[in-house]
Amino acid sequence: MVNSMSTRGAPGIRGRLGELCYSSGLLHSLQRVRAWWQRDLRILAYHRVMPLPDPSTYEFDLELISTPPAEFREQMMRIKRYFRPMRLTDVVAALDAGEALPPDTVAVTFDDGYDDNYRIAAPILDELGVPATFFVSTGHLDSGRPYAYDWLVHMILLTASQRLVLPELGIDVPLPRERALRRRIAGNVLLRMKWLDAFGQTAMIERLEAEWNMPSASARPVDCRPMTWAQAREMEAAGLEFGSHGVHHRMLARLPVDDMEREVRESKATLDRELRNPAVLMSYPVGGDRAYNDAVIAATRNAGFQLACSYICGTNAEPSENRYALHRLPVESNMGPGWFAAMLALPQLMSYPTAPHQSTGPTVQTCSP
């Protein structure tokens, strides 16, 4: 069972304004005017493309679903018609040559490496001839194991335990029966746990797995599984490209330096071994300014990567100046066609930043928790 598309409105002022601009018929004209005075690189960030499930029965993180298939097709058709879709490796080549990017350049990217990228997104991209980059966490493609954050949400939604006790985060709360209320608790945990160091996050999740007898090591849930290397090779043969999203999807800046550098190097070595084209692209897992720093950028450059993406909202007016911390525009499942079109045409007004995680949190707003 999936949600009715009609129940998904355009929330907030950005959504309503985007729909208004779209329905006015002036959006393309506004885009053309903007292109005369601002040539910035837009990079779209997706996670999953799949039919929107029923929240009352779906057992994983709804926030990772970027858009349903039909809307994804419409989005790619709009990019093909009104913009200049470009591979990130071609962006690298232009930057290396000192060449300006064409106006209205758009790059499409995906994080994590879920198998719906292969089953649903890739055929649409291939049909429409839109290039895209898939940043994958290599350890998950190696093992088939579900992603840790998604598994944490799964455990909180399904555990028979009546309390959630996380001394690491100062959390000790009853777990209600209603799944919607459990989702709120899980969302709060995801926000707060990302202030822990990376190994602390892993230890907390593994402790819950043991206490609740819900091990992820042997789990291969259909609704939360990574693509395989065979699928990745098939996608690459069709013209899609791949980059690193780390090995274990850990926040690189939250690792000890030696472990961080090893994670970066090993992710590249695995990609270079499994795929035909050398890996030159990186997306920092989680990607807010807690997730990478100068040491991570240096390790990324030293490993042989030539460009890297953050998950900080925005476009890139001079991508040569931040080619190891490029901003992106997140695509979220509550964006209707008008909001998406307006975000692409007028990204400074219509993109989707979130509030700071805490009052003492980062000053740069990230696109996603």
- Judgement on whether residues 133 and 190 belong to the same structural domain of the protein: no
Residue 320 lies in a domain: yes
- Judgement on whether residues 244 and 324 belong to the same structural domain of the protein: yes
**Range with the poorest average pLDDT among 35-49, 133-147, 165-179, 252-266:** 35-49
Residue 367 lies in a domain: no
Segment 362-368 shows an average pLDDT of 41
Domain of residue 200 covers: 148-212
- Closest of 330, 353, 338 to residue 28, by C-alpha: 338
Residue 359 lies in a domain: no
Residue bearing the bigger pLDDT, 177 or 336: 177
Residue 4 lies in a domain: no
Segment 330-346 shows an average pLDDT of 89
Residue 360 lies in a domain: no
- Judgement on whether residues 204 and 251 belong to the same structural domain of the protein: no
Task: Identify the band that residue 348 occupies on the pLDDT scale cut at 50, 70 and 90.
Answer: confident
Residue bearing the bigger pLDDT, 300 or 26: 300
Provide the token pair at 85: 């879709």
Segment 131-154 shows an average pLDDT of 97
Task: Identify the band that residue 350 occupies on the pLDDT scale cut at 50, 70 and 90.
Answer: low
pTM greater than the 0.85 cutoff: yes
**Range with the poorest average pLDDT among 13-22, 56-65, 202-211, 223-232:** 13-22
Task: Identify the band that residue 11 occupies on the pLDDT scale cut at 50, 70 and 90.
Answer: low
Q: Kindly tell me the number of DSSP H helices and DSSP E strands found in the chain.
A: 15, 12
Provide the token pair at 117: 């990228």
- Is the model's pLDDT at 36 over the cut of 80? no
- Is the model's pLDDT at 122 over the cut of 70? yes
- Judgement on whether residues 131 and 202 belong to the same structural domain of the protein: no
**Range with the poorest average pLDDT among 1-15, 216-230, 282-296, 325-339:** 1-15
- Judgement on whether residues 276 and 180 belong to the same structural domain of the protein: no
- Judgement on whether residues 281 and 240 belong to the same structural domain of the protein: yes
Rg of the chain taking only CA atoms, in angstroms: 20
Report how far apart, in Å, the C-alpha atoms of 304 and of each of 86, 262, 307 are.
Answer: 21, 13, 9
Q: To the nearest whole percent, how much of the chain has pLDDT over 70?
A: 89
- Closest of 9, 30, 10 to residue 21, by C-alpha: 30
CB atoms within 10 A of CB 361: 17
Task: Identify the band that residue 52 occupies on the pLDDT scale cut at 50, 70 and 90.
Answer: very high
- Is the model's pLDDT at 364 over the cut of 70? no
- Judgement on whether residues 157 and 121 belong to the same structural domain of the protein: no
- Judgement on whether residues 271 and 346 belong to the same structural domain of the protein: yes
Identify the pLDDT of residue 353: 58
Residue 289 lies in a domain: yes
Residue 341 lies in a domain: yes
Residue bearing the bigger pLDDT, 196 or 27: 196
Segment 18-26 shows an average pLDDT of 72
pLDDT in tens, 195-227: 999 999 999 999 999 999 999 999 999 999 999
**Range with the poorest average pLDDT among 10-14, 30-34, 53-57, 278-282:** 10-14
- Domain termination residue (choose one: 165, 189, 212): 212
- Judgement on whether residues 139 and 269 belong to the same structural domain of the protein: yes
Find out whether 303 and 264 touch, Cβ atoms under 8 Å: yes
- Judgement on whether residues 269 and 255 belong to the same structural domain of the protein: yes
Q: At what angle do helices 337-345 and 27-37 cross, to 10 degrees?
A: 20
- Domain termination residue (choose one: 212, 240, 267): 212
Total domain count, the chain: 2
Identify the pLDDT of residue 289: 84
Domain CATH for 285: 3.20.20.370
- Judgement on whether residues 194 and 339 belong to the same structural domain of the protein: no
Provide the token pair at 292: 């990478």
Identify the pLDDT of residue 10: 46
- Is the model's pLDDT at 231 over the cut of 60? yes
Residue 3 lies in a domain: no
Q: If you average pLDDT over every residue of the chain, what do you get?
A: 90
- Judgement on whether residues 75 and 119 belong to the same structural domain of the protein: yes
**Range with the poorest average pLDDT among 131-135, 136-140, 277-281, 336-340:** 336-340
